[in-house]
Homo-oligomer: A and B are copies of this chain.
Amino acid sequence: MKQQVRNVTTMEKKSRSEMEDVQNHKDHREIPIDHVGITNIKWPIKVMDRQNFSQHTVAEFTMSVDLPKEFKGTHMSRFVTILSDFSNDITAEKLPGIIREMQKRLDATEAHLKVDFPYFIEKKAPISGVKSLMKYDCGFLITANGEDLDYILEVDVPVTSLCPCSKAVSDYGAHNQRGHIIIKVRPQKEDKDNFIHIWLEELFTLAESSSSAPIYPLLKRKDERFVTMQAYDNPVFVEDMVRNAAVKLREDPRISWYEVSAFNDESIHDHKAFAVTTWTRE
């Protein structure tokens, strides 16, 4: 069976001007819409990288705008047009420019842009010094409301957490597990569209030093010995992980707001333990 493809000339006979722009119709339901847009769209991007200037990765985008009650629909294809116009060279530095384009081309007051991506750093094992690449899931969330711009960085840092209770009540050993510390921060503003730069790498280190021990892709036996004992020496609950991170984040004057979560994939249970704390600098 052959896929039929109509003669393109015939297909084009309905000229663009004759084709109805349904989205532009007036709407009478009196319901404004907070977000209308697209999600789960993947696109290659470049991210600034403390070690190597920049790295290539693949991001998932969510892009939306508000829609006043008078309009029937948004022109969804314009979101992708904007990505295409910036491609193949989307970098984190261009995200404010992208969101300004979203406001302009979609004729919107508010615009929201979420970009989630895996990010790699070269990590040295603590004793042997062997190097490997470690992946962290990261995100940027940018919101524009008229002239205002808001910006949040997000990192998801896998760590080892060792249970203080299990250590305290047992003659030997202590249950430990993979945990995740998720940090969202809002940097202070430098000026209208610019925020003080915070390296993703700084947040990775901050999270790891709030846990029982960092995680590495590659460890030799002497490294495994080191992290095993490091974890045993630094027991933490999820409560401790969010508090340890929170204390450090408050001390950093570049940060005006944070939300810190910690999740433990409990090794003695089939559920997760979690904790969340948020704070705004006054």
Binding site for B on A (CB under 8 A): 1, 3-6, 8, 11-12, 14, 16, 19-23, 27, 29, 31-44, 55-58, 64, 67, 72-74, 76-77, 80-81, 83-84, 87-88, 118, 120, 126-127, 130-135, 158, 160, 162-166, 168-178, 209-213, 215-222, 224-234, 236-240, 242-244, 246-247, 263, 265-278
With A72-B239, A275-B35 known as contacts, the answer to whether A42 contacts B135 (CB < 8 A) is yes
Inter-chain CA distance A37–B272, complex, in Å, is: 8
Residue of B nearest to A52 (CB): B88
Contact of A56 among B20, B44, B175 (CB under 8 A): B44
Distance of A57 from chain B, by nearest CB (Å) = 6
Q: Are A215 and B277 in contact (CB under 8 A)?
A: no
Distance of A141 from chain B, by nearest CB (Å) = 15
Q: Are A273 and B37 in contact (CB under 8 A)?
A: yes
Q: Are A270 and B221 in contact (CB under 8 A)?
A: no
Q: Are B162 and A173 in contact (CB under 8 A)?
A: yes
Inter-chain CA distance A126–B220, complex, in Å, is: 36
Inter-chain CA distance A234–B230, complex, in Å, is: 22
Contact of A273 among B38, B211, B221 (CB under 8 A): B38
Contact of A44 among B126, B133, B270 (CB under 8 A): B133
Residue of B nearest to A170 (CB): B228
Distance of A62 from chain B, by nearest CB (Å) = 8
Inter-chain CA distance A85–B9, complex, in Å, is: 52
Sampled A-B contacts (21; CB under 8 Å):
A1-B243, A3-B209, A4-B234, A11-B127, A20-B165, A22-B168, A33-B242, A37-B275, A39-B263, A41-B217, A43-B135, A56-B56, A58-B118, A72-B240, A73-B240, A80-B218, A160-B267, A169-B224, A173-B173, A178-B270, A265-B265
Copies of this chain, whole number: 4
Q: Are B238 and A20 in contact (CB under 8 A)?
A: no
A-B CB proximity, top 8 nearest: A173-B232, A56-B56, A41-B271, A170-B228, A80-B218, A35-B276, A20-B168, A31-B243
Which chain B residues border A232 with CB–CB below 8 Å? 170, 172-173
Distance of A175 from chain B, by nearest CB (Å) = 5
Q: Are A171 and B229 in contact (CB under 8 A)?
A: yes
Which chain B residues border A269 with CB–CB below 8 Å? 38, 215-217, 219
Q: Are A33 and B276 in contact (CB under 8 A)?
A: yes
Q: Are A268 and B213 in contact (CB under 8 A)?
A: yes
With A14-B169, A41-B217, A164-B22 known as contacts, the answer to whether A135 contacts B270 (CB < 8 A) is yes
Q: Are B133 and A165 in contact (CB under 8 A)?
A: no
Q: Are B6 and A226 in contact (CB under 8 A)?
A: yes
Which chain B residues border A176 with CB–CB below 8 Å? 173, 175-177, 267
